[in-house]
Amino acid sequence: MRISYEWLGDFLDLDGVTPKDAADVLTRLGVEVESLTMVDLSNIVIGKVLEQKPHPKSRTPLWIHQVDIGVRVEQIIAGAPNAVPGTLVPVALPGTTVPNGKVVKDMNIAGFKASGMLCSADELMLGEDHSGILLLDRGKPGDPLTSIIPSQAIMEAEITSNRPDCMGHLGVARELAAGLGRPMKRDFMPSFTGTADPPGRELVKVSVDDPDLCSRYIGGVIKGVRVGRSPDWMQRRLRACGVRPINNIVDITNYVLFEYAQPLHAFDLARLNGPAIHVRRAREKEKLLSLDGVVRDLTPDMLVIADALRPVAIAGVIGGEETAVTTATTDILLESANFNGASVRQTSRALGLRTEASSRFERALPPELALAGARRAASLIAELAGGTVHREWADVYPRPQQPVRVILRPALIDDVLGTHVPLEEAESILKRLNFHVKVMGDGEWDVLPPVFRLDVTIPEDLVEEVGRVHGYDRVPPTLPGRRHERWTPATPSLDRRLDAIREVLAGAGYSETWSPALVSGRQLEALRIAAHAMRVSNPLSDDMDTLRTSLLPSLMDAMALNRDRGRLDIRIYEIAEAYLARVGDHNGGQPEEPLRLAALASAGATADEGRDALYRLKSVLDGCVAAMSAPSCMYDRASAELFHPGRCAAVMLDGRQLGYIGELHPTVSAGAGIDGRVVAFEVDVEPMVAESRIPRAQPLPRFPRVQRDLAVIVDETVAAGVLHTAIKEVAGDLLEHVRAFDEYRGAQVSEGHKSVAFTLTFRSPERTLTDAEVDKVMAEIKLGLEKRHRARFRE
Amino acid sequence: MTDPSALTAEAVAAIGKAQTSAELERLEVEYLGRKSGRVSKLLEGIDKLSPEERAALGKAVNESKRAIEEALSGRRSQLEENRLADLAETEAIDVTFPGPPLDRGHVHVLTQVRRQIETVLESLGYQVELGPEVETEWYNFEALNITAGHPAREMWDSFYFSPELLLRAHTSPVQIHAMQRIKEPPIYIITPGRCYRRDAPEATRLPYFSQVEGLAVDKGLTFGDLKGTLLYMIQSLYGRERKVRVRPSFFPFTEPSFEFDVSCGICGGMGCKSCRHKGWLEVGGCGMVHPQVLRNGGIDPAQWNGYAWGFGIERMAMLKHDVDDIRLFYESDLRFLEQF
Ligand SMILES: [Zn+2]
C-alpha cells in the first residue's frame, strides 16, 4: 500500500520526525516500508498566468504565457492549452530540478525566449496526469509551492494479511503514534450523525439474505449534494495512493477507503429501483455493467447488491455503471458494509478483478469499521458537497461483532521474549495501541483489544504487541542449551551420505544439475513414460503441468541446451525424486517419491564410440555403488523405454532391480534435439543406501599373485557376464579376481563367434603358488567353459 | 707380461678422463671384466710361477683391482655431482606451459550451499528430517493453522492434483510429521527440500524452489534463543561481521512472527546499490511456534514451546555468490554450473 507522509500528519504531530524516521519506525513495528519516494517541492514557485497566446511559428501547437511570479513577469512556453489567463500554476524557473528529474534551462523556442516551465502533476510527482498544467486552487504569486502543498513523501509498504486496519492511513498513523509515544489527534469513531428527517431507514429499505456473507449493511441517505470537483488536497492524496480523482462524491468514498480501510460505495438514489437494497446471491444468467465498462456475467456463488429489479453492484468488488453517481446526481445512498472475506476473494478471482475494495474485504474487516467509515464519509460529503444527511440510517447488523477478551499472565511476556520488559512499560504499550488492560486480583491481566484488531485472540498475540513496540532489537541473542535427559544421536543426512557418489561423479568429470520436477506431460507421453505421471490440475503452463516420472528427459533437455550453446562433450547427472502415482490411484493419493540418480554422457557418433562410452559409464556406475560401500551390481540384458533395443541392461543389486543403463534410443536422443549418441543410466538410490555397509579391513596379502590371460572363443550369443560367472564358479578359492578386458571378432575367429579376453589373478593366503598349481586351475576353468559354453581358446 | 702397476696407472688415467657413465661402464668391463678383463688377464700363466712369485702377483693384481674400483666409484660420484650441478640447464622445461585440462565435474552450487547449511545447523545439534513433496491439504495448511478461507492462504498459491492433494508450498509440513513421529521433545530438526508455489518464473522467484526450515521444541525456549540461532547460522555462513535484523511480520503458524534480514555484505549496513539502499537483505521468516501448531503435532503447549525459521536455499546461494537471477540455478547451463 502507498502511504502519504503528509496524510499521516493529520493524525499525529510529526514535528522532528522525517519521512525516513517514520519509515524506519514503521518497519520496526511490522509495517515494512519497501521504498520511500521523496518529492521536494521547495524550489517550485506559484505563478499567475496574465496572458496566453499561441506560438506563431512552431509546427507543433505551443502556447506563450506571461506569468507573474511575484518579483517579475516571465515568458514561459508550454504545450498544453489549459493555463488560461487568471489561473494559478506551479512554475519551475531555469536552474531548478523538478521532482521527476528534469532540469529546467533558459531556452529559445523558434525565436521566442522561454524562461522556465509550467509543471504538470506528473512532473511534480503529484499524480500520473501529464495531459495538462497542474492548476492550483489558491496561493500567492511568488510564494513557494510548499506554502500550499507540503513536500511529499510516499512510502510503499507491505501490509501483512492479519492487519487490515493498516490498509488505511489512520491505522498506520496509530502504529506510528504508538512507536513514537505520541498521542493521536483523532478518535476512531467520528461523532458525526445526520439530523434531517425523515429517518434514512424509512427512505431506503435494506434486507440481507445470508448473514454469513454480509454481517452488516449500512445505507445512509444524503440528499441535495452538488457533484463537482473535489478539493486539491484530496485529489493530491488520492493521486499519491494511485487513484484518479473522478468527482467529489466518488473521491470521498475512495478517500475514506484509504483513510479508514473501509470500502464504501455511493449509489445515485434516483437511479435505484424501489428504492430498496437487497443483499443476495446473483441469479442464473444475471449480468452487470460494472464501473470499468465491462459487462460481467454473474453466477449464484457471487454476492450482489440488488435493487428491486436487478443487481446494482458486486458486493465488495465493484459498483454498477447504471446506478453510479454522475454530475446530474443530487441524492445518494451511501453504502458501508461488511462482506465475508473468503466470498469476496472467490468472486474477485472468478471475475479476474482485484480492486482496492476487494483487497480489503478479503482480509476480513471488523464490522464495527463500517459505521466509522460511513460517518466519516457522510461528514466529508456534507462539508465538501453540501447535502443534507438524514438521521437513523438503515443498519442491518445480524451478526454484531463480539468483543474478545484475552487473559494474559504477564510473566509470559518475559518468558517468550527472553528479556525483561517492566510491567509498567508493557501495560503502557498495550494502552498506546488502544487495548484496555484490567489487572485482576491474581495478577493476571484481562485485556480487551480495540474493535479494529480482530487479529488479537491469544496471549501470544499480546506478547507480540509488547515485543514489537518495546523493540525486538533490544532482546539479547542467546543459544538454547539446557540439561537434556533425552537426545537423538547424530546421524548423517541422506544427502550427505550421497556426497560419496558426488565425489565419484565429479572425479569422472560429471557435473550435477538441479532441474525442475514439473515437466511437460506431453513430453512424457511422447516418450511413453507417462503411465504413472501425476498431473497438476491448475498448472501455470503446459510445459510444467506434470511431475516427472524419470530424470532422464530433464537431463536430455539440459544436454540439448548445452549443445546449442557450443558444448560438445557433456557429462551431467542429477540426484532427485521421481514421482510415481501408485497403481490404480491416479491423483487420489500421495505418490511414491523414489530418490533417483541419473547420468547422461555424450557418446560420439559411431556404434563403436557408443559401445565404448557405455562401458565407461558402467564403470562410473560401479564406482558410485562402490563409493556407497554396497555390493557390486550385476547387469542383465534388458529392454526399456528410452533405451536402444540392443544396448540396454537392467542394473541389479542383490537381486533387486535398481534401474537401467544403456545407450539412448536414437529416436529419443534425436527427439530431444541431440545429434550424436548418448549413454545414460537412471537408478534408485535407496537400495544402494540400504545395502551400504561399513567397509571392514582385510589383511594385506602376504604372498605374490599370479596373473594369466585367457582368450575364450564362444558363440556370439554368450555374454561376457555369463562367462565371468562361469569362470568364478569353476575356479575355486585360488582365483582372486577376474576381469574381461577385450572383445574380438574377425579374421582369427570363425563366423558367428567372438573372442573374449580375461585377465585372471590367482593368489593363496597361505603360500606362494607354483606354476603347476595355477596350470591345474586354468585347465579346470577351460574344461568348465568347454562343457558349459562350448568354448575354445586362443593362444 | 704387463706390469700391474702400469696397467693400474693406465686404467686410472682413462677413468679420470671418462665423461659419461657409459664410458665408465665400458672401462669397467675392459679392465675388471671377470674373464676377459685386462686385470684378470694379468693372472694368465700364474700356475707357471713359483709360490712366492704367485703370491706377489696375486697381491699386486688385487691391489690393482681395488685401485681401479676406487677410481671408478670416485669418478662415478664426480660425474653424478656434475650432472646434478647442471640440471638447471640440461633438464630445464618451460614451466609456464599449461597442463592439459582436468576433466573435473562440479557439484551443484545449491548442493554446496545446502551442505554448508546442514553442517552449520548440525553443529548446533539439529538433525535432518525429510517428508513428501506431494502433501495433503491438512499437513500443508490446516495443521499449520492456515484454515480454509484464511486471508493468508494468498501467500501460498499452490499446485493441486485434487482438492485434497497438492505440491507442498513450504517444508513446514515436515515439522508436523516430525512432531508426530518423535512425540516427546526435545526436538531439534531441519527440513531441507523442494517446494512449489504458483508464481510465474522471473529473476527473483520461481514456481519451484528449495527451502530449509529449522524447528526447535523444548522447555522454556525464547525469542532470544531464536535470534541467537539465526545469528549463529548467518555468521557461520557469511562471516562473523554480519548482523541479523528481525522485523515483526505475520505467519499463521508462528506467534509472534518475524522476517529476518542480514546486513549487506558490500556496504556493511550503510546502504548501497546492491541492497537497494536499505543496508539489509531479506533472508527468510521465523517466529515462536503457534500453540495450535504444537497441539496439531500432538505436543502440549502448556509444557513445551518452540521456535521455527525458514528460508530459501537459492536465496542463500544468491547472497553468498552474487547470483542475480534465480533461474540460472535450474537452467543446467554448464557455463554457470562450472563457476562453483
Ligand atoms: Zn549494501
Q: What are A263-286's pLDDT values in tens digits?
A: 999 999 999 998 899 999 999 999
- The 8-class DSSP code of residue A514 comes to -
Tell me which chain B residues have a C-beta less than 8 angstroms from the C-beta of A494. 128, 130
Q: Pick one of 3.30.56.10, 3.20.20.370, 3.30.70.380, 3.10.129.10 as the CATH number of A706-794.
A: 3.30.70.380
Peptide bond into B256 cis (omega under 30): yes
Decide if pLDDT at A130 tops 80.
no
Confidence of residue A236 (pLDDT cuts 50, 70, 90): confident
Q: What is the DSSP string of A752-771?
A: TEEEEEEEEEE--SSSPPPH
Between A205-219, A231-245, B179-193, the lowest mean confidence (pLDDT) is in A231-245
Nearest alpha carbon to residue A151 among A50, A232, A44, A269: A44
Q: Which of A62, A72, A115 is nearest to A93 (CA)?
A: A115
Distance of CA A297 to the CA centre of its chain: 29
Tell me which chain B residues have a C-beta less than 8 angstroms from the C-beta of A362: 151, 154
Q: Considering the domain B109-337 in this protein, what is its CATH number?
A: 3.30.930.10
Q: CA dist B324 to B107, B203, B275, Å?
A: 20, 7, 12
pLDDT at residue A131 tops 80 = no
Task: Quickly tell me which residue has 509472534 as its cell.
Answer: B256
Q: Residue range A363-379: average pLDDT?
A: 95
Contacts with B215 from chain A: Cβ below 8 Å: none
SS3 for chain B is CCCHHHHHHHHHHHHHHCCCHHHHHHHHHHHHCCCCCHHHHCCCCHHHCCHHHHHHHHHHHHHHHHHHHHHHHHHHHHHHHHHHHCHHHHCCCCCCCCCCCCCCCCCCHHHHHHHHHHHHHHCCCCEECCCCCEEEHHHHCHHHCCCCCCHHHHHHCCCEEECCEEECCCCHHHHHHHHHHHCCCCEEEEEEEEEECCCCCCCCCCCEEEEEEEEEEECCCCHHHHHHHHHHHHHHHHCCCCCEEEEEEEECCEEEEEEEEEECCCCCCCCCCCCCCCCEEEEEEEEEECHHHHHHCCCCCCCCEEEEEEEEHHHHHHHHHCCCCHHHHHCCCHHHHCCC
Q: Write down the architecture of domain A2-39+154-180 according to CATH.
A: 2-Layer Sandwich (3.30)
Looking at residue A280, the DSSP 8-state letter turns out to be E
Cα separation, A501 vs A510, in Å, equals 11
Q: Return phi, psi of residue A147, to 5°.
A: -70, -25
Q: Compute the Cα dihedral for A246, A250, A252, A256 and give only its sign.
A: negative
Best residue of B103, B255, B337 to probe chain A, by most A CBs closer than 10 Å? B255
Disruptive mutation site among B124, B332, B337, B339 for chain A (greatest number of A CBs within 10 Å): B332
Q: Minimal CA–CA distance to A49: which of A169, A157, A125, A134?
A: A134
Neighbours of A395 (CB within 10 A): 17
Residues in CB range of B122: below 8 A, 6 or more apart: A490, B128
Dist. CA A473 → ligand 1 center (Å): 20
Q: Are the C-beta atoms of residues A567 and A573 closer than 8 Å to each other?
A: no
Q: Quick check: ipTM above 0.85?
A: yes
pLDDT band with cut points at 50, 70 and 90 for residue A483 = confident
Kindly give the pairing relationship between strand A571-577 and strand A511-512. parallel
Q: How many CB atoms lie within 10 A of CB A685?
A: 22
Please compute the mean of the pLDDT values over residues A634-648 and round it to a whole number.
94
Domain spanning A406-473, CATH class:
alpha beta
Q: At what angle do helices B313-321 and B109-122 cross, to 10 degrees?
A: 100
Is residue A101 less than 8 Å (CB to CB) from chain B? no
Q: Cell 503458524 identifies what position?
A: B253
Q: Could you give the CA distance from residue A105 to residue A116 in angstroms, rounded to a whole number?
A: 7
Let me know: does A65 contact A118? Beta carbons within 8 Å: yes
Contact A655, A630 (CB under 8 A): no
Compare CB distances from B108 to A163, A513, A537 and report the shortest one's residue.
A513
- For residue B220, the chain A residues in CB contact (below 8 A) are 415, 482
Query: Is A571's CB within 8 Å of B332's CB?
Result: no
Contact B155 A161 (CB under 8 A): yes
Under CATH, domain A494-691 is a member of which superfamily?
Bira Bifunctional Protein; Domain 2 (3.30.930.10)
Chain segment A512-560, per-residue pLDDT in tens: 999 999 999 999 999 999 999 999 999 999 999 999 999 999 999 999 9
Neighbouring residues of A780: CB distance < 8 A, sequence distance ≥ 6: A730, A731, A732
C-alpha cell at A308: 428491486
Fold of A200-396: Phenylalanyl-tRNA Synthetase; Chain B, domain 3 (3.50.40)
Q: Which residues of A touch B165 (CB under 8 A)?
A: 587-590
> Looking at the complex, does the CB of residue A137 fall below 8 Å from at least one CB of chain B?
no
Q: What are phi and psi of A240, to 5 degrees?
A: -60, -30
Report which DSSP code applies to A545.
Answer: S
Radius of gyration of chain B measured on its C-alpha atoms: 41
pLDDT tens readout for residues A138-171: 889 999 998 888 888 999 999 999 999 999 999 9
| DSSP string computed for A617-637 | HHHHHHHHHHHTTPPPPEEEE
Q: Give the nearest partner residue to B111 out of A467, A512, A538, using CB atoms.
A: A512
Distance of CA B149 to the CA centre of its chain: 47
- In degrees, to the nearest 5, what angle opens at C-alpha B340 toward C-alphas B268 and A509? 170
Residue in chain B lying closest to A27 (CA): B247
Task: Please compute the mean of the pLDDT values over residues A346-359 and round it to a whole number.
Answer: 94
Distance CA A349, CA A157 (A): 23
A24 Cα–ligand 1 center, Å: 16
Which residue of chain B is at minimal alpha-carbon distance from A479?
B225
Residue numbers in chain B where pLDDT is lower than 70: 1
Ligand 1 is an ion; its neighbours by CB within 5 Å are B 264, 266-267, 272, 275
pLDDT of residue B1: 55
Averaged over A339-344, what is the pLDDT? 94
Note the residue count of chain B. Answer: 340
CA–CA separation, A469 vs A16, rounded Å? 20
Report chain A residues whose CB lies below 8 A from the CB of B105. Answer: 505-512, 571, 573
Q: Sign of torsion, CA B84 B87 B91 B97?
A: positive
C-alpha cell at B30: 675392459
How many angstroms is it from B226 CA to the middle of ligand 1? Answer: 25
Give the class (CATH, top level) of A45-150.
mainly beta
Q: Which amino acid is at B151?
A: P
Confidence (pLDDT) at A485: 84
Of A416, A486, A544, the CB nearest to B184: A486
Q: How far is the CA of B318 from the centre of ligand 1 (A)?
A: 14
Domain ranges of chain A: 2-39+154-180, 45-150, 200-396, 406-473, 494-691, 706-794
CA A480 to ligand 1 center in whole angstroms: 31
Whether A406-473 and A45-150 are alike in CATH topology: the answer is no
Cell 523556442 sits at which residue? A109
Cross-chain residue pair A493–B118, CB shorter than 8 Å: yes
**Do the strands A205-208 and A276-281 form a parallel or antiparallel pair, or are they unpaired?**
parallel
Using DSSP's 3-state secondary structure scheme, residue A598 falls into strand
Short-list A707, A709, A722, CA closest to A762: A707
Cα separation, A5 vs A38, in Å, equals: 10
Determine contact, residues A382/A350, Cβ cutoff 8 Å.
Answer: no
Q: Residue A124's pLDDT is what?
A: 86
Task: Name residues 27-66 of chain A within 8 A of B (Cβ).
Answer: 27-30, 32, 35
Region A703-729: mean pLDDT is 93
Q: Among B125, B198, B288, whose Cβ lies nearest the Cβ of A460?
A: B288
CB B172 within 8 A of CB B195: no
> What number of residues does chain A have?
795
DSSP-assigned states of every residue in A187-236 = -SS------BSSPHHHHSEEEES-TTTEEEEEEEEEEEE---PPPHHHHH
Q: Do B196 and A518 lie within an 8 Å CB cutoff? A: yes
* H-only helix segments in A508-551: 521-526
Out of A35-39, A223-227, A305-309, A524-528, pick the least confident: A35-39
Q: Is A496 on the interface with B (CB under 8 A)?
A: yes
Q: How far does the CA of residue B256 sit from the closest CA of chain A (Å)?
A: 5
Minimal Cα–Cα distance from A532 to chain B, Å? 13
Residues of A in contact with B196 (CB under 8 A): 518
For A662, the grid coordinates are: 544403456
Residue A585 has pLDDT above 80, yes or no: no
Question: Which of A598, A662, A612 is CA-nearest to residue A636?
Answer: A662
The nearest CA of chain A is from the CA of B267 a distance in Å of 18
Beta-bridge mates of residue A154: A4, A37
Cα-to-centroid distance, B277 and ligand 1 (Å) = 6
pLDDT for A4 equals 94
A320 and A312 Cβ atoms separated by less than 8 Å: yes
A507 contacts in chain B (CB < 8 Å): 104-105
Angle at A106 between CA A100 and CA A109, to 5 degrees: 100
Mean pLDDT of A80-100: 90
Backbone torsions φ then ψ of A755, nearest 5 degrees: -115, 130
Asked if A165 is an interface residue toward chain B (Cβ–Cβ < 8 A), one would say: no
Q: How far apart are CA A579 and CA A594, in angstroms?
A: 7
What is the distance, to the nearest Å, from the Cα of residue B273 to the centroid of all Cα atoms in its chain?
32
| Mean per-residue pLDDT over chain A, rounded | 93
Count CB-CB contacts under 10 A for residue A228: 12
A68, A93 Cβ separation under 8 angstroms = no
Interface touch B224/A362, C-beta < 8 Å: no
